[in-house]
Amino acid sequence: MSKIGIETTQNVQLNFPLASVGERIAAYIIDAVFISVCVFFATLMFGLLGEAYVMVFAFLIPLLFYSLLFETFMNGQTPGKRIMKIKVCKIDGNAPEFIHYLIRWMFRLVDIGLTNGVVAILTIVIGEKGQRIGDILAKTTVVKTSHTMKLTNTILSEIPDDYQLVFPESGKIADKDLELFKKVLQQLKTMDDHVEKLTFGLKARGKVMEQLGIKTEMPPEQFFQTLIDDYNFLHKSL
């Protein structure tokens, strides 16, 4: 299974499994079928009502922006991508914004439309990060969601009433840092190779310790969980 090493803005590398060409083609076909069904029913409906074809085209205009709209409002997924359990993400680990989805959508004409998908397939296969031209320019790629980290919808969590702050330096933690800590913690819990797990954990811990100015020999998993707990304690106390 191909993976991409995503270097976050905190210089911690996380590994995500890339969506295969087959999965991306399958998602595209599912979306194409969905669009075709919409076109068929719109044509049928307006035909039965005796409306002019201009009404049909007006009704179907949003379909021109199909992938752009769905990826923007469905967190990097279209119905096809959701069914195939893949999604768009940025190669720096941050969530894509509208401009990134827009760039991807604009270059669908080159990647897929004018070349029947040949350019997209070639660039995805040849490149190391599973990117078509639109992805390269938008600095995005497509990864599997079935293997990515499953995080809670909120950065806040419950802590005991008698909790004691462990690292005063936790006051420097920002919301985006906390999301990174949760991703690192989840990745540590899913790693089976103990040597790889320890190497990754110590490297991630070292970079975060340097960033926050913390000195500790606490095991990586305990360290990141403690940072999360400290953050919640400090914000609960405000």
Quote the pLDDT of residue 222: 92
Q: Is the pTM of this model over 0.85?
A: no
Q: Is residue 8 part of a domain?
A: yes
Q: Which range marks the domain in which residue 12 is found? A: 3-144
Quote the pLDDT of residue 29: 96
**Domain identity same for 68 and 177:** no
Quote the pLDDT of residue 148: 46
Write out the two tokens for 7.
């270097």
**Domain identity same for 173 and 138:** no
**Domain identity same for 17 and 67:** yes
Q: For the chain, what is the mean pLDDT?
A: 83
Q: Which of 127, 62, 75, 119 is nearest to 101 (CA)?
A: 75
pLDDT of 151 over the 90 cut: no
Q: Is residue 149 part of a domain?
A: no
Give the number of domains in the chain. 2
Quote the pLDDT of residue 2: 67
Taking residues 202-210, what's their average pLDDT?
Answer: 92
Which secondary-structure segment (H or E) carries 76?
none
**Domain identity same for 72 and 108:** yes
Q: Is residue 159 part of a domain?
A: no
pLDDT in tens, 16-73: 788 999 999 999 999 999 999 888 887 777 665 555 666 666 767 888 899 999 999 9
Write out the two tokens for 14.
């996380």
Taking a C-beta distance cutoff of 8 angstroms, is the pair 132, 124 a contact? yes
**Domain identity same for 121 and 185:** no
Taking residues 102-110, what's their average pLDDT?
Answer: 94
Greater confidence (62 vs 8) lies with 62
Q: Which of 61, 75, 72, 68 is nearest to 31 (CA)?
A: 68
State the pairing for strand pair 3-7/86-90: unpaired
Q: If DSSP codes are grouped into helix, strand and coil, which group holds residue 75? A: coil
C-alpha 230/C-alpha 171 separation (Å) is 8
Reported as a pLDDT band with limits 50, 70 and 90, residue 154 is very low
Q: Is residue 162 part of a domain?
A: no
**Domain identity same for 12 and 121:** yes
Strands (E), 23-158: 86-90, 140-144
Greater confidence (46 vs 150) lies with 46
C-alpha 108/C-alpha 32 separation (Å) is 14
pLDDT of 136 over the 90 cut: yes
- Of 112, 144, 176, the position where a domain reaches its end is 144
**Domain identity same for 52 and 102:** yes
Q: Is residue 156 part of a domain?
A: no
C-alpha 193/C-alpha 35 separation (Å) is 44
Which of 11-25, 56-70, 75-89, 90-104 has the lowest average pLDDT?
Answer: 11-25
What are 7's strand-pairing partners? 13
Phi and psi based region of residue 16 (left: phi greater than 0; alpha: psi -120 to 50; beta: remaining): beta
